[in-house]
Structure 1
Amino acid sequence: MTADDRVRAVLCPLDGVGLDELVDAAALLTRVDRKYVLPVDDAVAVLDDLARVTAARVLEIDGARSAAYESVYFDTPDLASFHLTATRRRRRFKVRTRTYLDSGASFLEVKTRAARGTTLKQRVAHDECPTALGDGRTFVGRTLEAEGIDGGSHLALSPGLVSRYRRTTLLLPEADGAARATIDTGLAWELDQPDGDVPLTWSVPHLVVVETKGDSTPSDLDRLLWRHGHRPERISKYGTGLALLRPDLPDGPWRRVIRRHLTPSPGATAPAGTTTTPARTPGHDDRSL
């Protein structure tokens, strides 16, 4: 069974929830994110407990409880978005198209930092090719300028890193409202090379990325993960993926998670240079983009 199969199986006892209800209950475009990187067996154990002790529900669309995602990230020639994140600047941003591969729907998204370390995501439907901003450049520029990114309307953004994975989304009822969580499996990155050679790739089928999205109060799933010995870790699908495939770039914020977890699959074409250490050490809250 794939990691996605195992996740869906362990969550099978939970009721489903429609997209409209989930958005009404927990849209969370401004939120605190906590991210966890777990081996598949550990993730299944945590989710099994969740299914037994909470009234969480699983997003279900046309009978499907997981969906395939593809994100294309846009950056400047000098990788301004990457370096702002790598150096933990307060005024950082991320621009991407996100395509839901099962339906073909695509959105253009801009993520920035809001007050008190929260993440603000703004998006519009995107009818262009996912690797082109097209008319969306106006939306990106206006959004970046409004969020205090100097020169945001004049950035020379072009497509770069691509990430792909399957996602299961949970609605988590909480005492003071609702939170959302996502479970990502089959994560893989791809990056074209300047000389047109075979793209660099890196995949981690042995891992599950769990992300909780809510207010500053930890959710029941956060507390359950902590009881199982897991703590938030710094991982960014853009920053971490690019640091893996471009070892000439700084990897400071993600170095620990790279060394602990992100070994390549047997078919990876990524450059060598990372190592893995088995030790588990306490993590810390990741509220980065």
Structure 2
Amino acid sequence: MMQSLSPPDRQNAGLDLAAALAAFEPITLDALEGSDANLLDRTETKFLMTADRFVQILPDLGDAYRVLEIEGARQGRYETEYYDTDGFLTYLQHHNGRATRYKLRFRHYLSSDTTFLEVKEKRNTGRTVKKRLETDGLPELSDPGPGTFLAESFPYDAGAFHPVLLTAYDRITLVARDHAERLTFDLNLTFDNGTESRSYPKVVIGEIKHDRALRRSPAMTALGRAGVRKTGFSKYCIGVSLLYAGLKHNRFKRNLLFLEKLSSEGGSVC
């Protein structure tokens, strides 16, 4: 795996995120995993906002959501290593607008020191299905456990895939009290390909994971009231677009420009 990434420097941050999160009632990981909000089969809606706007929105969510807390921490550091072919098959699937597409990755949760091999499938129905296998560290994709899992879950030859991008970020997870909905907010995002890296401490990527039947929720209302609009955004595709200059990226130009705009406007979080 590529070298682990430290969070971007936040010494000059002026926003008290911890105080905003302290107002939320906590929920445990076991309770989340046993609830309807676990949502491995779901619809996803994504949002980009400045970090200071995110902190301003949080108080509007406290009555309707609980915050995931693991061993006293309400933020968790994630590292996700994406695999692709030499020709960037899965990246180009997304870029070229293929309705059914895949992502292959290892995700490491630093707070619990657990790792999962994950296949993420976006179906032509608009739904996202994630399948995962807990692993002991980072095995080879051809090892018996991963090999069997991928043969059942991934339609391509995993032997042609290798690490191409590492993303790292701090994640805050909010869980709806009375319906099947989960919110994630990713902060202090860093992309790294082993030779170059980019960091975005002033930008927050929000995502609402919900069942298709959910048309409106307190989070959607609060974000809309704050002027935060939904947008398609793939951390993998944006990271590849930024760090692999030779690949076409026309489909993602609007998001790349918006990301830079927010990064120049926002304040970082503490």
- TM norm structure 2: 0.85
1:164 to 161, 168, 174: 168
My pick for the range that moved more, 67-76 or 245-254, is 245-254
Instruction: Give the distance between the partners of 2:211 and 2:262, measured in 1 at CA.
Output: 34
**Structure 2 CA distance, aligned partners of 1:232 and 1:210?**
9
Structure 1 window deviating more from structure 2 (251-260 vs 239-248): it is 251-260
**Hey, what does 1:6 align to over in structure 2?**
16
Bigger mean CA deviation after superposition, 252-261 or 94-103: 252-261
Paired residue for 2:247?
A: 249
Say which structure, 1 or 2, has more relative contact order (CA 8 Å, 6+ apart).
Answer: 2
Shift of 1:8: 3.1
Question: In the alignment, residue 208 of structure 1 is paired with which amino acid?
Answer: V
Partner SS state of residue 112, structure 2: coil
Q: After superposition, where does 1:64-143 map in structure 2 within 5 Å? A: 64-114=73-123, 116-129=125-138, 132-135=140-143, 136-143=146-153
Structure 2 equivalent of residue 282 of structure 1: none
User: Would the alpha carbon gap of residues 202 and 154 (structure 1) be closer, same or farther in structure 2, given more than 3 Å must change?
Assistant: closer
Q: Per-residue deviation at 1:246? A: 1.5
Q: Which residue is 2:57 aligned to?
A: 46
Aligned partners of 1:209 and 1:9: how far apart in 2? 20
CA apart distance, 1:154: 5.6
Amino acid at match of 1:164: A
1:211 is aligned to 2:198: no
Deviation at 1:99, TM superposition (A): 0.3
Structure 2 equivalent of residue 283 of structure 1: none
Q: What residue number does 1:61 align with?
A: 70
Q: Could you tell me which runs of 5 or more consecutive residues in structure 2 were left unpaired when the two chains were aligned.
A: 1-9, 266-270
The percent identity for this pair of structures is 34
Secondary structure, counterpart of 1:116 in structure 2: coil
Tell whether the 8 Å contact from 2:15 to 2:52 is kept in structure 1 after alignment: no
Quote the Cα distance in structure 2 between the aligned partners of 1:188 and 1:262: 14
Pairwise CA distance, 1:257: 1.8
Aligned-partner residue type, residue 53 of structure 2: D
How many residue pairs match? The answer is: 250
- Confirm or deny that 1:234 pairs with 2:256: no
Instruction: Calculate the TM-score normalised by the size of structure 1.
Output: 0.80
Taking the aligned partners of 2:39 and 2:211, their CA distance within structure 1 comes to 8
Give the CA deviation at 1:71.
0.4
Deviations 1:227-281 (A, max 9, x none): 111111121110011001112222233221210223798xxxxxxxxxx8x8xxx
Contact 1:72 1:98 in 2 (8 A): yes
Q: Give the C-alpha shift of residue 58 in structure 1.
A: 0.5
User: Does the 8 Å contact 1:30/1:114 carry over to 2?
Assistant: no
* Structure 1 residue matching 2:160: 3-state secondary structure: coil
Q: Is the 8 A contact 2:150 2:158 kept in 1?
A: no
Over 3 Å counting, the alpha-carbon distance change for 1:182 and 1:236 in structure 2 is same
Tell me the CA shift for residue 22 of structure 1: 1.1
In structure 2, what residue type is equivalent to 1:246? Y
- For 2:256, the equivalent position in structure 1 comes to 258
Aligned with residue 35 of structure 1, among 35, 46, 54: 46
**Which residue identity is paired with 2:170?**
R
SS, match of residue 117 in structure 1: coil
Query: How far does residue 134 in structure 1 lie from its aligned partner after superposition?
Result: 4.2
In the TM superposition, what is the alpha-carbon distance from 1:19 to its structure 2 partner? 0.9
Question: Does structure 2 conserve the Cα–Cα contact (< 8 Å) formed by 1:234 and 1:254?
Answer: no
Deviation at 1:27, TM superposition (A): 1.2
Matches of 1:248 and 1:82, distance apart in 2: 13
